[in-house]
Every structure is written in structure tokens, then in C-alpha cells.
A and B are shown apart, each in its own frame.
Chain A
Amino acid sequence: DSGVTQTPKHLITATGQRVTLRCSPRSGDLSVYWYQQSLDQGLQFLIQYYNGEERAKGNILERFSAQQFPDLHSELNLSSLELGDSALYFCASRQGTYGYTFGSGTRLTVV
């Protein structure tokens, strides 16, 4: 157990639907990063939150959004899903300058 908790582990949904992925960072970590991992693109940075505020955006589609709540857990919302959104979605939290810890990921399958 890395200390970063992601739920659900697997998600199968239909095109056009909306899903919410949840991440709880390690205790005490204020930063949460979301990444998407696909076979052709590798691990791509989506978005970062720090203590409830958005800090950086990467290759995140407009159909995707995220937020970080006062208890520091974060949710990634994916809407109008397409087949190409099928991927592994990871969140990570950071301790200090370099200590990143990743969760086990959510495998999203869009059918």
C-alpha cells in the first residue's frame, strides 16, 4: 500500500457517459497530480492541485475536470466519454521536493 488511495480500481462504461475517479493522497501531502497512461501516449500529466487550488494544467481535455476538496482528496471527472479515453488514470501525491507516490490507478474502459 503506497498510501495513495484510488477508487474505483476498474470502471467500464459506455460512450457518452460521465464518470468520477477519486484519489486520497498520503496523509499530510497537499499536492495531488493526475496522470493518464495509455499504450500509445505513455504517462501524460493532466492536472495538479495544491491545497485545494489548481496549480498546473497539462494535456487535459475540456471534457475532463478535477477538483481538490478541503479534506485534500481529489476527484477527476470525465464526461462525454469516447473510446479513446480508455486508459489507466493515476494520481500521485508529493512529499517534499522530489518524493512522488503514485496510487494503484483506475483502469477505465469505454465501450
Chain B
Amino acid sequence: TQLLEQSPQFLSIQEGENLTVYCNSSSVFSSLQWYRQEPGEGPVLLVTVVTGGEVKKLKRLTFQFGDARKDSSLHITAAQPGDTGLYLCAGSGGTSYGKLTFGQGTILTVHP
């Protein structure tokens, strides 16, 4: 069974601070995705990383896939209140026919 451990579970910071969310597994994933979920809505895909060591940037968000494709991180620079939400990592791979294994999520609150 593939598991993804996401940390921290909760993050409360002030506007302008930087933060990093981690997603770790003992299993290899062929791809790893990061989602953001707002209350009452479904997860929205932010990025997909597929190559070990890959780094992708989306404005103030930087996503990294570990060399061994077992871990990933999400770094937010100069967080803003609009970044508040639930961040989820999800991996897919093997013979899973594309099903996603999700981490438990990180609830981020950015205070003005």
C-alpha cells in the first residue's frame, strides 16, 4: 500500500513569511501532484511533477520532486492571505490505473 505523509498538518503564519510543506513516502511514485482545496469545493490541481529532481515554479510557489521520486515539497514565498487553504499532495504510479494516493493535507492560514 502506497502512503504519503504530509507535514505539517497545520501552519499559521503572518503575511510576508515563507513556508514549506513536505510530502514523504517510502514508495516510488511516477508522478506527484499538488492541489489546493477551498471550503465547499473540490481540490484544484496546482502542478504535476514527473521527473526526479524536477523543480517547477508557479509565481510565488515552488514545487520540487525528490531525486528518488519518493518525496516532494511545496515552498511559498512571501505568503499572502489569499494563499489560505488546504494543500494536498497526491501521488500516482505503478499499476494503479491513475488513481491518486493523497496525503492528509496541510491547513495553511495566513494572517494579514
Contacts and interface: CB of A to CB of B under 8 A. Distances in A.
Interface string A2-36: 10100000000000000000000000000101010
A104 B40 contact: yes
Contacts of B103: 42
A58 B99 contact: yes
B68 interface: no
B42 A104 contact: yes
> B33, B41, B43, B44 — which one has the most chain A CB atoms within 10 A of its CB?
B43
Contacts of A31: 98
Nearest to B98: A94
Interface residues of B, number: 24
Nearest to A105: B42
Contacts of B41: 104-105
B65 interface: no
Interface of B: 31, 33, 35, 40-45, 48, 50, 88, 90, 92, 96-105
Interface in A93-111: 94, 97-105
Contacts of A103: 42
Contact of A56 (B33, B48, B88, B97): B97
Contacts of B33: 98, 100
A64 interface: no
Given A90-B42, A103-B42, A104-B41, A45 B104 contact: no
A92 B42 contact: yes
Contacts of B48: 98-99
A56 B96 contact: yes
Interface string A78-98: 000000000000101010011
Given A43-B88, A98-B48, A100-B33, A56 B42 contact: no
B99 A48 contact: yes
Interface string A44-77: 1100101000011010000000000000000000
